[in-house]
Amino acid sequence: MTILIFLKFLGSLGLLIYGMKLLGESLQKMAGNQLRHIMDTLTTNRFTSFLTGAIITAIIQSSSATSVMTIGFVHAGILTFIQGLSMIMGASVGNTFVAWIMAAEFNYAISYYIFPLFFVALWLVKLRDYRSLGESIFGLCFMFLGLRLLYEFTDDLQLTSSPVLSAIFGSLSDNYGSYLILLLCGGVFTLCFQSSAALMAASMILCSTGIISIYSGIALVLGENIGRGLITYYAASSANLTARRTAMAQLIFNLFGVLWVFWIFPYFIETVCNTMGYQTTGRLEEHALTYVLAAFHTCFNLCNVALFIWFIKPIERLVNNIVPKNDEENEDTNELRYITGGLLATPELSVLEAQKEINGFAEMTCRMFTQVRYLITINNTVEFRQIYMKIRKLEDASDALEEEIADYLGEVSDDLLSSDTKNQIRCMLREVSELESIADSCYILSHIISTKYHGKQLFTSKQLDHLHQLFQLTDQALQEMKRILSMRRPPAEARTANYICQEIKKFRKQLRNLNAIDVNNHEYSYHIGTMYLDIINECEKLSEYIINTIEARIESNTKED
C-alpha cells in the first residue's frame, strides 16, 4: 500500500513536470527563430538584458531553459558575459511567475475549468499551422492537472497524521540548523528532478497541510537557487571559457543571494508577511501560506538582482580567477568549437551553435585554399611536403567536421522544432555538404600540383601568371562566401559572388582555348597541358560549390523571414 501511495505521488509530480516541460518546449517551438532574434536584439545593456530574461522566462515557464539558452548565446559569441549574466538574473525573477500561478490554483481550483481546453488542444494539434499552440495548451492543462492531483492526493492522505512524516519533519524545529538541512534538501530535489517548479509545488503543499512551518517551507524554496545554479553549470561544462564563466557567475550570484537572506532569515520573512498584511505570529490560513511563499520567492529574487546587478564587473573578475584560461584554449584546432552535448537541451538554439560551426568550417576551407595558392610557388622539397601534408590534414578534418555537424543537425531535427527551423536545418545540411566539396577540391588541386612537382614538370611563366589570376578570382569568391556566411542577415541575392564566378567561367574558356593553341605550337608538352587544364577545371568546380553554399544560406534566411 505504501508503495502504491508513493507511485501515485511520483505520477502526479511527473505529470506536473511533463506539463511544464511540454509548455516551455512548445512555446519555444512556436516562437522559433523569433526567440533567438529577441534575445539577440533586446540585450543592448544589463538592464534590457535583465528585462528580456525575465519576460522570456515568464512566458516559457522555465528559468533553467532560459539560463541554458543564454549560456548557448554566450558560447556562440552572440552575448557578452555582462549581457548573459544580466539575462540569467532576469530569469530568476521571471521564474517567480509560476509560483503565483500555483498559489492561484491551490486557492481557486483553476484546473476544474481547464477540461474543455483538452478538446481545443486536441483539435489544434491536428492542424499543421497551429500544432505548437495546441501542444502548449496541452502542457498548460497537464501542469494545472498535475498541481490539482498533487494537492488532492496529499489532502486525502491526511499527511499530518502520518507517523513517518511526523517523525521526519518533527525533528526539524524552527532553527538555523533545520533551515540549513531543508535548504540543502531543496537544492538536491531541484537537481534531481530538474525542476524548481516541482519543489515550489511540494513546498506549498507541505506548508498548507501543516506538515512544516512557513519558515521551513521558505528554506526549502531557497534551496532551488542552488539547484538551478548547478544545473546551468553542468549544462555549460563542455562549453567555451566565457560560457563556463557565465554559468559559474550564476552559481555565485545564487549562492551569495542565499547567504545574505539566510543571515536575516526571520526578519526578511516577517517583512514580507507584514507587507502582504499577514501576521507571522499565530497560524496562517491555508491560502495565506501559498501566497506568502510566492511573495517571498518574488521579493527575494528582486532584492537579490537589485543588490548584485551593480556588481557584475567585480563578479566577472572573481570568476576569471575561479575559472582560469587553459593552455588548450589558446591552440588553433579544427575540432568542434561551438557544438556541445550539454547545450543540446535547447533544440531551437542548437541551430545557432551549428551556424557558428559552419562559419568556422568556411574559415577552414579558406585557409586550405590559401595553402594551395602558396603550394604552387614553392621550390623547396621539405617546405613543399610540409604544406602539402597540412592541406591533407585539413581535408581529413573537413571530412570529420561534415560528419559531426550533420549528425548533430540530425539529432536536433528529432526534437520539437518549428517548421522554419526544420527548413533552416535542411539548408544548413546542404551548406555543410558544399563546404566539404570545396575542401575536396582544394585537396585535388594540391594533389595535381604535387604530381607536377614530383614529376619534375614545370609550368611556363605564362601559365603561372594565368593560374595566379585564376586563383585570385577564386580566393575573392571564397572571401565573399565567408563574408555572407558570417552575416546575421545575408542579402537577398549574391550579386558579387555570382559576378566573380561568371568571370571565372569566362576566364576558364579563354585559358582552354589558349592551352590548345600552346600545345599545338609545342610551347609545352601535352601532359603538362592536361595538368594545367585539370587545375583550371577544378577551380571552376570550386566556384560552383561556393555559389551553392551561398544560395543555401540565402534560402535559409528567406525561409526564416
Q: What is the pLDDT of residues 178-223, one digit of tens each?
A: 888 888 888 888 888 777 777 888 888 777 777 777 888 888 888 8
3-state helix, strand, coil in the chain (%, to 5): 85, 0, 15
Q: Find the distance separating the first CA and the last CA of the chain, reported in whole Å.
A: 57
- Find how far residue 149's CA is from the centre of its chain: 34
Q: Is the pLDDT of residue 159 over 60?
A: no
Distance CA 27, CA 418 (A): 10
Cα–Cα distance measured from residue 87 to residue 161, given in angstroms and rounded to the nearest whole number: 44
Residues 6+ apart with CB under 8 A from 116: none
Query: What whole-number distance in Å separates Cα of residue 154 and Cα of residue 158?
Result: 7
Distances from the Cα of 165 to the Cαs of 157, 168, 284, in angstroms? 11, 5, 21
Predicted local confidence at residue 47, as pLDDT = 85
Q: Which residues, 6+ apart, have CB-to-CB distance to 493 below 8 Å?
A: 554
Give the lowest-confidence range in 86-95, 489-498, 536-545: 489-498
C-alpha cell at 543: 566556384
* Range 169-178 burial, b when 16+ CB lie within 10 A, else e: beebeeeeeb
Neighbours of 544 (CB within 10 A): 17
* pLDDT confidence bin for 337, thresholds 50/70/90: low
Q: Name the strand (E) or helix (H) holding 554.
A: helix 526-560
pLDDT at res. 78: 72
Q: What is the mean pLDDT of residues 383-398?
A: 90
Most confident among 15-19, 169-173, 237-241, 534-538 (mean pLDDT):
534-538
pLDDT at 332: 44
3-state SS class at 99: helix
- On the question of pLDDT at 18 being above 90, the answer is no
Q: What confidence score (pLDDT) does residue 340 get? A: 57
Give which of 259, 169, 195 is closest to 16, Cα–Cα: 195
* Amino acid 473: pLDDT: 92
Question: Count of alpha carbons within 13 Å of 265, Cβ hemisphere only?
Answer: 21
pLDDT, tens only, 432-475: 999 999 999 999 999 999 988 887 778 888 999 999 999 999 99
Taking CA atoms, 37 is separated from 47, 71, 131, in Å, by: 18, 15, 22
Q: Is the pLDDT of residue 499 over 70?
A: yes
The residue-averaged pLDDT of 349-356 equals: 75
Q: CA–CA separation, 34 vs 125, rounded Å?
A: 21
Q: How far apart are CA 6 and CA 164, in angstroms?
A: 13
The rounded distance, in Å, linking the Cα atoms of 543 and 538 is 9
Please write the tens of the pLDDT for every residue from 271-291.
887 776 665 544 455 557 788
Residue 174 pLDDT: 65
For residue range 51-83, what is the model confidence (pLDDT) as tens digits?
888 888 887 777 777 787 788 778 767 778 888
For residue 285, the model assigns a pLDDT of: 55
Predicted local distance difference test score (pLDDT) of residue 478: 93
Q: Which pLDDT value is given to residue 287?
A: 58
pLDDT value of position 437: 94
pLDDT of 407 over the 50 cut: yes
Q: Which helix (H) or strand (E) holds 438?
A: helix 419-454
338, 62 Cβ separation under 8 angstroms: no
- pLDDT (tens digit per residue) in 232-242: 888 777 677 88
pLDDT winner (highest mean) among 265-269, 289-293, 374-378 = 374-378
Shortest CA distance to 293 belongs to which of 89, 59, 105? 105
* Selected residue with higher pLDDT from 129 and 424: 424
User: Which has the minimum average pLDDT: 393-402, 448-457, 524-533, 539-548?
Assistant: 448-457
pLDDT over 60 (residue 329): no
Q: Which three cell numbers stand for residue 229?
A: 545554479
d(Cα 521, Cα 469) in Å, to the nearest integer? 23
Grid cell for residue 313? 564587473
Q: Which amino acid is located at 455 in the chain?
A: G
Of the two residues 5 and 142, the one the predictor is more confident about is 142
Residue 449 has, within 13 A of its CA and on its CB side, a CA count of 29
Tell me how far apart the alpha carbons of residues 233 and 251 are, in angstroms, rounded to a whole number.
Answer: 7
Residue 343 has pLDDT above 50, yes or no: no
Q: Would you state the cell numbers that stand for residue 500, as one nine-digit string?
A: 566573380
β strands within 273-328, DSSP E = none
Express each pLDDT in 97-146 by its tens digit.
888 888 888 777 788 888 888 888 888 888 877 787 888 888 888 888 88
DSSP string, 146-207: HHHHHHHHHHHHTGGG-HHHHHHHHT--SSHHHHHHHHHHHHHHHHHHT-HHHHHHHHHHHH
Q: Which amino acid is at 469?
A: Q
φ, ψ of residue 339 to 5 degrees: the values are -80, 125
Domains of the chain, earliest start first: 2-325 (no CATH), 347-560 (1.20.58.220)
